[in-house]
């Protein structure tokens, strides 16, 4: 039997090429609030290599409930302060959610 081990949340952000460096700078200086959240397992910013203009912000969580707690927390608002104050760098985004499947679990 397959068992869900964790979940992956990907925010696919469309970023005009002239604003890509700004997006990367914002993530480089991110508040890091998410790192301290219960159930948070990891973060990666994925830069496109194929000429597309979509960055992927990938986070891994122990459960959907942990992710939802983060989304509704004051820490989430603080972590997105630059977007709230300076506006978004991207022109659009799509949130994708995946379960990580462990094929070795029985």
Distance separating alpha carbons of residues 45 and 30, to the nearest angstrom: 11
pLDDT band for position 81 (cuts 50, 70, 90) = low
pLDDT of residue 105: 58
Distance separating alpha carbons of residues 106 and 1, to the nearest angstrom: 5
pLDDT of residue 39: 96
Q: Mean of the per-residue pLDDT values for the chain?
A: 87
pLDDT of residue 87: 79
pLDDT of residue 34: 87
On whether the pTM is more than 0.85, the answer is no
The third-level CATH classification (topology) of the domain covering 3-101 is Alpha-Beta Plaits (3.30.70)
| Distance between start and end Cα atoms, the chain | 5
Q: Say how many residues make up the chain.
A: 106
Specify which residues 33 forms β-bridges with: none
Instruction: Check whether 78 has a pLDDT greater than 70.
Output: yes
- Structural domain spans, the chain: 3-101
Distance separating alpha carbons of residues 63 and 40, to the nearest angstrom: 9
pLDDT tens figures, 17-68? 999 999 999 888 876 788 889 999 999 999 999 999 999 999 999 999 999 9
């Amino acid at each position: 039997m397959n068992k869900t081990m964790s979940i992956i949340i990907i925010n696919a952000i469309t970023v005009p090429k002239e604003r890509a460096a700004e997006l990367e700078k914002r993530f480089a200086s991110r508040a890091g609030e998410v790192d301290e959240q219960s159930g948070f397992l990891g973060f990666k910013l994925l830069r496109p290599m194929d000429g597309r203009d979509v960055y992927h912000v990938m986070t891994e969580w122990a459960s959907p409930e942990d992710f939802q707690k983060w989304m509704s927390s004051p820490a989430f608002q603080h972590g997105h302060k630059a977007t709230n104050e300076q506006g978004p760098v991207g022109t659009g985004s799509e949130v994708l959610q995946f379960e990580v499947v462990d094929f070795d679990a029985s």
